[in-house]
Amino acid sequence: MNQESAIEAFAALAQPTRITVFRLLVRQGPGGLPALEIARRLGAVPSTLSGHLAVLKRAGILTATRHQREIHYAANLVAVNDLIRFLLADCCGGQVENCSEILSLLRLEA
């Protein structure tokens, strides 16, 4: 991940509804949820939620797949792991052993 992509991901998450959607989908796991179910669980207006989902998808931190007439959204956990790796790439001035606590919490390879 490069800096521009990281900034886009953080910008997408820097809004209350979008971070709530993202956290819901992380809890849901790889199967994700249909857009209308996300709206129902959050008490959001579907047309408003659609714009938020588009921002998160454009930033690459959500995926969208069509299942018949529904679009299912899921957290793109690979992209999120890449974002975390980007943030920690220079952790502790390259002394990775000093970052073992952080890395073990995130289940990243040290």
**Backbone φ, ψ for residue 76 (5° rounding):** -90, 90
What distance in Å separates the CA atoms of residue 63 and residue 85, rounded to the nearest whole number?
20
**HSE toward the beta carbon, residue 110, CA cutoff 13 A:** 12
pLDDT-based confidence at residue 86 (cuts at 50, 70, 90):
confident
- Arch. (CATH architecture) of 3-106: Orthogonal Bundle (1.10)
pLDDT-based confidence at residue 107 (cuts at 50, 70, 90):
low
Which helix (H) or strand (E) segment is 8 a member of? helix 3-13
Domain ranges for the chain, please list them.
3-106
DSSP code string of 11-55? HHHSSHHHHHHHHHHHHH-TT-EEHHHHHHHHT--HHHHHHHHHH
